[in-house]
Chains A and B, each alone.
Chain A
Amino acid sequence: MTDLWIVIIVLGLGSFGLRFVFLGLVGDRAMPDWLLRHLRYTAVAVMPALVAPLVVWPTATNGETDPLRLIAAAAALVVGYVWKSLYGAVGAGAAVMISGAWLPF
């Protein structure tokens, strides 16, 4: 991780820039609709795209699909979606992973 400090500093500046761009520079002029429409889906697109390969081909198993991790991911997804609870979802996923550490399946 030799480039760690570059990442920290550029990411810090970039994140600040995103937060400051309208507040500090644009004022209250309206943004185009097509842009807003795409921005609305950034979070729900970027995160699944990031997570899906990690779930299907986990780093810890050298990319071999692991039933335990699939179940943990599914549990987190279902609990988070149905109950709209961030910590419920983390708890469900963690419970599966922890039980997997001690149960022989």
Chain B
Amino acid sequence: MDHTDAMSSYWRGMRTALPFLFVVAPFAMLFGVVAADAGLNLFEIISFSVVVIAGAAQFTAVQLMQDGAPTLVVIVSALAVNLRMAMYSASITPHLGHLPMWKRVLVAYFLVDQTFAASIVEYEKRPEMTVPQKFAYFMGVMTPICPFWYLFTIVGALVGEAVPPELGLDFALPIAFIALFAPALRTGAHRAAALVAAIMALSFAWLPYNLGLIVGALSGMMTGADVERRAGLPADRRPGA
């Protein structure tokens, strides 16, 4: 593997991912704002973003902690939100599974929605890429995304302290989640899953320990899987969508 080839893959990945900066920065800021609003200090907020590095799961955890949910429920719910990462991992393994272990650890840590999406599209478009080129491309994609996730979390935490309460900031999180899942309601199965999940979560909201969330989520997943199976829909090639 030629060094120049890897470098050009790296730069190509970085150029491709540059627009994601405009998606990641405001979302990271929003996390900083919401976490500061929930009473976390700056060190706790930045640790959250560096250690967990998963927006939706971080939002889930902060919201549930604010509601006083038991720690186990907080962790299980946030991990459930992150289950799609296992799909990404499965999907990218044929491309990067041959890397040395330390590089696979690195890829796993940086495997988020945007790095996965940008990389898998490129790998499928250019099957002639070598494994080192694919790794370089992935690291290129990561560069304008992950460091800025940390950076803008801090910015958000600092800005958050300055936002007046009458702006209804408590509602930033539900809005952020709606904005995340609404564009993903692509098929009847997705829409059915979301609808059943919402209705069941409301119906079982009286359960202790936020278990209504788990009932809702499991019902939604079973509904989506069932609708897909009955309709005989072709297997969706995009995991986690």
Q: A11-B75, A42-B221 are in contact. Are A28 and B183 (CB under 8 A)?
A: no
Of chain B, the residue at the smallest CB distance from A42 is B83
Asked if A40 contacts B87 (CB within 8 A), the reply is yes
Contact residues of B between 62 and 118, Cβ < 8 Å to A: 63, 65-67, 71, 74-75, 77-90, 92-94, 96-97, 101, 104-105, 107-109, 111
- CB contact list, B148-201 vs A, under 8 A: 166-168, 170-185, 189-190, 193-201
Choose from B104, B172, B236 the contact partner of A23 (Cβ within 8 Å).
B104
- B90 and A16 contacting across the interface, CB-CB below 8 Å: no
Is there contact, CB below 8 Å, between A42 and B217? yes
Task: Kindly list chain B residues whose C-beta atoms are within 8 Å of the C-beta of A14.
Answer: 75, 79, 82
The smallest C-beta distance from A9 to any residue of chain B, in angstroms, reads: 7
A11 and B198 contacting across the interface, CB-CB below 8 Å = no
Give chain B's interface residue range (CB within 8 Å of chain A): 35 or more
Chain A residue with Cβ nearest B54: A15
Query: Are A101 and B222 also in contact (CB < 8 A) when A20-B89, A59-B66 are?
Result: no
Query: B200-239: which have CB < 8 Å to A?
Result: 200-202, 205, 212-213, 215-225, 228-229, 235-236, 239
Report Cα–Cα, A68/B216, bound state, in Å: 25
Q: How far is B80's CA from A11's CA once the two chains are assembled, in angstroms? A: 11
Bound-state Cα–Cα, A70 to B106, Å? 42
Residue in B30, B87, B229 whose Cβ sees the most chain A Cβ within 10 Å: B87
Whether B178 pairs with A51 at a CB distance below 8 angstroms is yes
Verify A19–B108 contact, CB threshold 8 A: yes
Q: In the bound complex, what is the Cα–Cα distance between A87 and B184 (angstroms)?
A: 14
Among B1-9, B43-51, B120-128, the one that faces the other chain is B43-51
CB nearest neighbor in A for B196: A45
Contact residues, A4-25 vs B (CB, 8 A): 4-12, 14-16, 18-24
Shortest A69–chain B CB gap in Å is 6
The verdict on B143 contacting chain A, using a C-beta distance below 8 Å, is no
Complex: chain A residue closest to B238, CB-CB: A40
Binding site for B on A (CB under 8 A): 1, 3-12, 14-16, 18-24, 26-28, 31, 33-34, 36-60, 68-69, 72-73, 76-81, 83-90, 93-94, 97-98, 100-101
Identify 14 new A-B residue pairs, CB closer than 8 A, beyond the known A33-B235, A41-B190.
A7-B78, A22-B89, A24-B108, A45-B223, A45-B224, A48-B201, A49-B197, A50-B60, A60-B170, A69-B174, A73-B178, A87-B26, A94-B172, A101-B168
Q: Which 10 residue pairs across A and B have the least CB separation, nearest first?
A: A80-B182, A45-B220, A41-B224, A49-B216, A89-B179, A12-B51, A93-B175, A49-B201, A52-B198, A20-B108
Residue ranges of B at the interface with A (Cβ–Cβ < 8 Å): 23, 26-27, 30, 38-40, 44, 47-48, 51-54, 56-57, 60-61, 63, 65-67, 71, 74-75, 77-90, 92-94, 96-97, 101, 104-105, 107-109, 111, 166-168, 170-185, 189-190, 193-202, 205, 212-213, 215-225, 228-229, 235-236, 239-241
6 CB < 8 A contacts A-B: A4-B40, A6-B71, A18-B83, A37-B228, A49-B197, A86-B23
